[in-house]
């Protein structure tokens, strides 16, 4: 057996592309040196990855199902962040209260408001903005860019241009200490929220009739339509879910950052695009994989070579495109 | 000229009439730009005229991509910025001189070409939409790099430098017997005029080169690829090679425009070159003017540049008139002009996807 084939076989045996985040973690450990910093960075990377996954999964599914790429996706992220910030500021008494119930209610209200807005805005966006330009990529890009401009301007008009502080519920403040490693509660929460969403999405896609139709639609839309299913209704449901998840991700990100400005959407959009490209368009697993890679690499590189943080993700994207032009785990083969 | 043409052919089809109107308007704009220093004699108008010249080249080279080849790139300002930063860094470190402009410009152009080849080969193989995402990511990374390597690029503050001696306001192009600067039609023949005509003439040459490219056999092949990629491939044209080369051509022209812009502005920073706002401007200009027409770029740039000044005044007045109503003044604030332009843009893409020039010329967009 020749050497490259040997390596490839070994790579597949340890889990193929799915093992990449673990490989990255193992490589990073000696480079960082200190174990406690490594744990902190890894937790931060996983949390960030999960939040980006929330934002990216919808975009990827929408593209896979309907061949629609929404360049205005980041508008949902921004709106989610700003709405959550406003709700938390409005419920300041609950946020600061010493009662876990009130804390939890405030958090639930903020995430819920963002998600509900995402659902409603997703419906509006799909019906009004995107529906007239199905199957025309060029006009799709142009129209969604136009919608992005308008949404960003609306955010500026409503919330102003200066950064807004985001109060964090006392429940999620602070960190717990294991040995000499401190782990922030918020990061753990973000990680498990993302994981829960991933599991829910996987279950719906793989275990329900609707999920079956969605997967079939990603694979071959026309055939599903020919069998008599109204794929456009399915699509609007997927679009709304994707927008709601993006808004939820934005809300989580706002709490993570603690201070948000109008530039948030644009910054996240780049990461979301990189994630979707790395992961392969149309697949949830690909998005998760890409998001974790981007989150981990971003945090490690920011620690080792601070100046290269964003460029590192770009280099990662270039490398993966060279290796697999369709991304790591595309939903549909070439 | 239009009158005689119409009189001699009263039954001329509307497309021909439209084409006439578009070309006459473009010609008038060209003439206005050619005599701009004499027609509008204040510093601000001169600045606007030079900006229009540079952006016509920038928008036209973008039209080559989006209109003629059907590829959407968000990295156009990246190439523009590379050309500008090349010249800026060279002018700063080598001192003001033509050697610096040449060295910096060539460095910027070569770098832009290499990057364009890399991006093109890597991602033009797959779907157009994928390409748009890759270029967007590349451009934003370049923007971050420019602001982070501040020793080299001046970071957010940018670089201030001097232009070659010929363009200094103190330079005397023509002197009378007493050694004073000659005034022609009330305009002093100093370095400012030289700088403007440097911008105007280079941009004219670049624009004509672009016109030549789209009229050449290459342009026809590009349109064939845009209309039906499979068929073009089947006839025997290597689609990826054509797309990549046109991407490189557009990148090189954008970088050259960037060099000219840097020499004129004597300042280069992220806001004047790399910013995403400029990318949006170019996109709006091309789409409003008319994709795939070249002259559309001219009309789009002029309209956008004028709108940037006059729409703001109009909104200022509207905001004051509605000061008592909640939210509305915020939406009508002059800083929110992009909001209204964005709405206009969406409507335009819905109803007139061919843009102004394309609609008049009855040249279908997509």
pLDDT tens track for B276-333: 888 888 988 898 888 888 888 899 999 888 887 777 777 777 777 777 776 677 777 7
Structural domain includes residue A277: yes
* Per-residue pLDDT, B9: 46
Residue ranges with strand state E in B205-340: 267-268
| Beta-bridge partners for B183 | B188
Please indicate, yes or no, if residue A25 is contained in any of the structural domains.
no
Higher pLDDT, B107 or A35: B107
Residue B348 has pLDDT above 90, yes or no: no
Q: Which long-range contacts (CB under 8 A, 24 or more apart) does A315-320 make?
A: A316/A274, A316/A278, A317/A274, A317/A277, A317/A278, A317/B134, A317/B137, A318/B118, A318/B122, A320/A277, A320/A278
Q: Where are the domains of chain B?
A: 37-274, 277-366
Q: How many whole angstroms separate alpha carbon B361 and alpha carbon B188?
A: 41
For testing the chain A interface, which of B152, B270, B349, B352 should be mutated: the one with the most A CBs within 10 Å?
B349
* Cβ-based contacts under 8 A for chains A and B: 110
The reported pLDDT for the residue numbered A174 is: 73
- pLDDT score, position A4: 65
pLDDT of residue A284: 86
- Which residue of chain A is at minimal alpha-carbon distance from B330? A157
Q: Would you call B287 helix, strand, or coil by DSSP?
A: helix
Which residues have a Cβ under 8 Å from the Cβ of A221 and sit 6 or more positions away?
A: A65, A66, A67, A231
pLDDT reading at A303 higher than 50: yes
On whether residue A227 sits in a domain, the answer given is yes
Please report whether residue A125 resides in a domain.
yes
Of A158, A318, A325, the CB nearest to B126: A325
Task: Work out how many domains chain A is built from and give that number.
Answer: 1
State the average pLDDT over residues B174-193.
Answer: 69
Q: What is the pLDDT of residues A147-196, one digit of tens each?
A: 888 898 888 888 877 888 888 777 777 777 777 777 888 888 889 999 99
Residue A117 is predicted with a pLDDT of 93
Across A82-96, A293-307, B245-259, which has the greatest mean pLDDT?
B245-259
Residue with tokens 């832009």: B112
Q: Mean pLDDT of all residues in chain B?
A: 81
Lookup: tokens for A296: 């981990």
Q: Has residue A11 been placed in a domain?
A: no
The verdict on a CB contact (< 8 Å) between B144 and A142 is no
| Pairing label, strands A259-260, B159-160 | unpaired
B121: contact with A, CB 8 A cutoff: no
Residues B366, B359: Cα–Cα separation, whole Å:
12
- The answer to whether residue A216 is domain-embedded is yes
Q: Which residues constitute the domain of residue A193?
A: 34-323
Mean pLDDT, residues B98-104: 85
Substitution target from A146, A162, A266, A307 for chain B, most B beta carbons within 10 A: A146
At A192, which helix (H) or strand (E)? helix A185-207
The CATH number of the domain holding residue A62 is: 1.10.3470
- Nearest CA to CA, how far is A33 from chain B (Å)? 26
Closest alpha carbon within chain A to B66: A138
Interface predicted TM-score (ipTM) of this complex, two decimals: 0.78
**pLDDT for B176:** 67
Is there a contact between B137 and A311 if contact means CB atoms under 8 Å apart?
Answer: no
Burial readout B91-115 (b: 16 or more C-beta within 10 A, e: otherwise): bbeeebeeebbebbbbbbbebbbeb
pLDDT at B268 over 70: yes
- How far off is chain B from A182, nearest CA to CA, in Å? 30
Residue A151 lies in a domain: yes
The partner residue sitting opposite A154, judged by closest CB among B335, B339, B345, is B339
- Asked if A234 contacts A241 with a C-beta cutoff of 8 angstroms, the reply is no
Q: Does residue A6 lie in a domain region? A: no
Q: Is the pLDDT reported for residue A333 higher than 70?
A: no
Note whether A138 contacts B134, CB cutoff 8 Å.
no
Give the minimum alpha-carbon distance from B247 to chain A in angstroms, rounded to a whole number: 17
């Amino acid at each position: 057996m020749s050497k490259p084939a040997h390596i490839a076989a070994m790579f597949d045996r340890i889990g193929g592309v799915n093992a990449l985040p673990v490989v990255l973690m193992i490589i990073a450990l000696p480079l960082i040196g200190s174990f406690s910093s490594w744990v902190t960075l890894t937790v931060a990377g996983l949390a960030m990855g999960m939040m980006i996954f929330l934002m990216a999964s919808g975009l990827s599914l929408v593209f896979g199902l309907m061949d629609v790429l929404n360049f205005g996706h980041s508008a949902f992220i921004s709106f989610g962040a700003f709405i959550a910030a406003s709700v938390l500021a409005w419920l300041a008494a609950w946020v600061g209260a010493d009662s876990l119930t009130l804390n939890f209610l405030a958090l639930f209200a903020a995430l819920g408001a963002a998600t509900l807005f995402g659902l409603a805005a997703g419906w509006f966006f799909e019906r009004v903005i995107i529906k007239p330009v199905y199957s025309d990529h060029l006009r799709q890009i142009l129209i969604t860019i136009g919608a992005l401009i308008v949404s960003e301007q609306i955010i500026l008009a409503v919330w102003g241009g200066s950064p807004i502080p985001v109060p964090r519920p006392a429940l999620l403040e602070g960190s717990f200490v294991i040995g000499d490693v401190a782990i922030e509660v918020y990061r753990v929460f973000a990680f498990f929220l993302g994981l829960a969403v991933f599991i829910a999405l996987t279950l719906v896609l793989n275990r329900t009739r609707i999920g079956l139709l969605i997967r079939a639609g990603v694979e071959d839309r026309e055939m599903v339509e020919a069998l008599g299913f109204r794929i456009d209704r399915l699509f609007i449901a997927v679009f709304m879910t994707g927008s709601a998840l993006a808004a939820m991700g934005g809300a989580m990100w706002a709490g993570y950052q603690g201070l948000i400005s109008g530039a948030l959407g644009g910054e996240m959009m780049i990461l979301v695009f990189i994630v979707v490209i790395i992961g392969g368009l149309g697949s949830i697993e690909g998005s998760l994989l890409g998001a974790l890679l981007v989150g981990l690499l971003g945090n490690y590189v920011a620690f080792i070579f601070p100046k290269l943080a964003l460029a590192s993700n770009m280099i990662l994207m270039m490398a993966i495109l060279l290796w697999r032009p369709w991304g790591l785990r595309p939903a549909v083969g070439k | 000229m239009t009158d005689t043409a119409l009189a001699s052919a009263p039954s001329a089809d509307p497309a021909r009439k439209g084409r006439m109107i578009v070309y006459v308007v473009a010609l008038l704009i060209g003439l206005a730009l050619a005599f701009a220093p004499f027609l509008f004699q204040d510093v601000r108008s001169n600045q606007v005229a030079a900006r229009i010249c540079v952006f016509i080249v920038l928008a036209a080279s973008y039209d080559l991509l989006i209109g003629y080849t059907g590829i959407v790139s968000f990295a156009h300002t990246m190439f523009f910025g590379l050309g500008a930063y090349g010249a800026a860094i060279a002018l700063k470190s080598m001192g003001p001189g033509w050697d610096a402009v040449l060295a910096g410009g060539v460095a910027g152009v070569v770098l832009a070409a290499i990057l364009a080849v890399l991006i093109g080969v890597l991602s033009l193989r797959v779907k157009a939409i994928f390409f748009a995402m890759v270029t967007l990511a590349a451009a934003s990374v370049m923007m971050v790099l420019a602001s982070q390597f501040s020793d080299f690029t001046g970071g957010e503050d940018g670089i201030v430098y001097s232009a070659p001696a010929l363009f200094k306001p103190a330079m005397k192009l023509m002197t009378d017997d007493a050694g004073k600067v000659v005034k022609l039609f009330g305009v002093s023949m100093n370095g400012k005029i030289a700088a403007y005509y440097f911008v105007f003439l280079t941009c004219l040459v670049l624009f004509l080169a672009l016109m030549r490219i789209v009229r050449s056999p290459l342009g026809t092949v590009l349109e064939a690829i845009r209309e039906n990629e499979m068929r073009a491939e089947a006839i025997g044209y290597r689609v990826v090679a054509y797309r990549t080369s046109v991407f490189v051509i557009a990148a090189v022209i954008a970088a050259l425009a960037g060099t000219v812009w840097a020499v004129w502005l004597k300042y280069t920073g992220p806001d004047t070159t790399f910013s995403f706002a400029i990318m949006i401007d170019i996109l709006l200009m091309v789409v409003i003017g008319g994709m795939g027409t070249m002259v559309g770029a001219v009309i789009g740039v002029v309209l956008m540049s004028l709108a940037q000044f006059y729409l703001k005044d109009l909104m200022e007045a509207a905001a004051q008139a509605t000061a008592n109503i909640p939210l509305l003044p915020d939406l009508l604030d002059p800083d929110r002009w992009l909001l209204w332009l964005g709405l206009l843009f969406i409507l335009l893409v819905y109803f007139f996807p061919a843009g102004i020039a394309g609609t008049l010329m009855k040249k279908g967009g997509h």
